A and B are shown apart, each in its own frame.
Chain A
């Protein structure tokens, strides 16, 4: 499964023209924001055990950073790609 993903990663990227390298880097950056899902899992696991405020803070921080990665990553990519709209597409 891991190897398949690596292979697909190589395959998908190697075709992208230079023009789109920056948006592409930004898009892959947003996709690793899936780490947010991991943060949600760890928060849920934490909810089942007694713990101090430090762990609560750290887990909220994990979710926050993950969310910044996801939302910011996609928003920046979207903004970059807006530049690629041609004149005819309407503003």
Chain B
């Protein structure tokens, strides 16, 4: 029987790896996800056979509730809310890892006396799982805008975090040194401290850094799951957890590299922690900006030869991707060359814009990465910024005091004309003023991104 289960695990792991490999290309990505699903089904059936169905009522109740909630939420959620759903599901995984440790410990307590390797893994997966759980919840609340997306900072923040971390390390070391025979109150304290650290560590991170954090927490959960594998002696968990831990780390590093900031800077030098007050670099007074009308912009677009669309989170919020495609179709009909400039961290997750534009059937070859598109701006007649802000902020190039100084940006200001579609003059997610709006070649079209784009399409059609 156990040999059969081992083989099932092997097949499942192979399917996971092959599935991830298939996710390399848009053409095979869906099959990749299906393969991974199949692998998961095989692995879960295998584990149920292995346990002989012991404790099945708990398993049945848990899977029924969790499955229904998970699938229902995934189907109901709007496309724009996808990033926070990933954060939430990731938190669930971390929470599960922490709970497994908790149940494992209290099953053995009060006369614990655990194996050294079990004690170490139990403590580590509880800590990392709890941090990932609490951090993911905060990331969810921030992205869902239940709480402010701005960095939350206070004096002595790093000191407080360090003290909590130190407490966790001391309690953890105590747990391992006594092989779990320490007083029973210590474990809940440890868990609580890890939850608190998860919250504290995510609070000061805001703005454009959120994707990096979700990716990081994703790899945290992977690591927690791998360690849980050591705790309960499961090769399946060790391998799958390590796979996710490694891939999550790669993704995280790739993202912070795209922002030209080392990961430590993202996590500890978070936006705003430098002062917590308004950036001093701004002009102080109200920005000198020029508002324009849809009709004026329509003329500008219709008689251009090259237009570059720069989508951002505003497009996602307004669900304007289909309207954007409709506008592009109208312009192409008139012989205008349309390109899309995709900043690696536009939106709330890497690839966020690609997903939305793919939904609207925008051809892949019109979506250009930052490196490729920046050379196109100087020859573009119009750069149409649709709800993007921080990724177009020229302050990142020149203002050394700016919190985003050094972040590679889209050179929209080099286009002959810049039109910015924006709801209001409110600053972006990172809370920084954007000098782009004051440039002489920039004009602003205020309003909801979808409404504005629809108005532009209608106006171009009418010409």
Contact = CB atoms under 8 A, between A and B. Distances in A.
Given A25-B215, A39-B96, A56-B58, A64 B66 contact: yes
A40 B33 CA distance: 23
B62 A1 contact: no
Given A9-B250, A70-B40, A71-B66, A83 B359 contact: yes
Interface string B10-33: 000000110111011110011011
B243 A9 contact: yes
Contacts of A1: 235, 238-239
B62 A67 contact: yes
Interface string A32-65: 1111111111111111110100111011111111
A33 B358 CA distance: 27
A17 B361 CA distance: 18
Contacts of B238: 1-2, 5
Nearest to B99: A62
* Number of chain B interface residues as a range: 35 or more
Interface in B202-238: 214-215, 218, 221-222, 224-226, 228-229, 232, 234-238
Contact of B26 (A5, A20, A66): A20
Interface residues of A, number: 80
A45 B106 CA distance: 12
Nearest to A59: B103
A59 B342 CA distance: 44
B297 interface: no
Contacts of A10: 246-247, 250
Contacts of A12: 17, 20-21, 243, 247
A55 to B, nearest CB: 6
Given A23-B23, A34-B225, A44 B51 contact: yes
B92 A19 contact: no
Given A9-B242, A59-B103, 6 more contacts: A13-B247, A18-B342, A23-B33, A25-B86, A28-B20, A81-B33
Interface of A: 1-2, 5-10, 12-49, 51, 54-56, 58-87
17 contacts: A20-B25, A21-B350, A23-B33, A23-B355, A24-B23, A25-B215, A33-B40, A33-B93, A36-B96, A47-B54, A59-B99, A66-B92, A69-B66, A69-B93, A71-B74, A72-B69, A72-B71
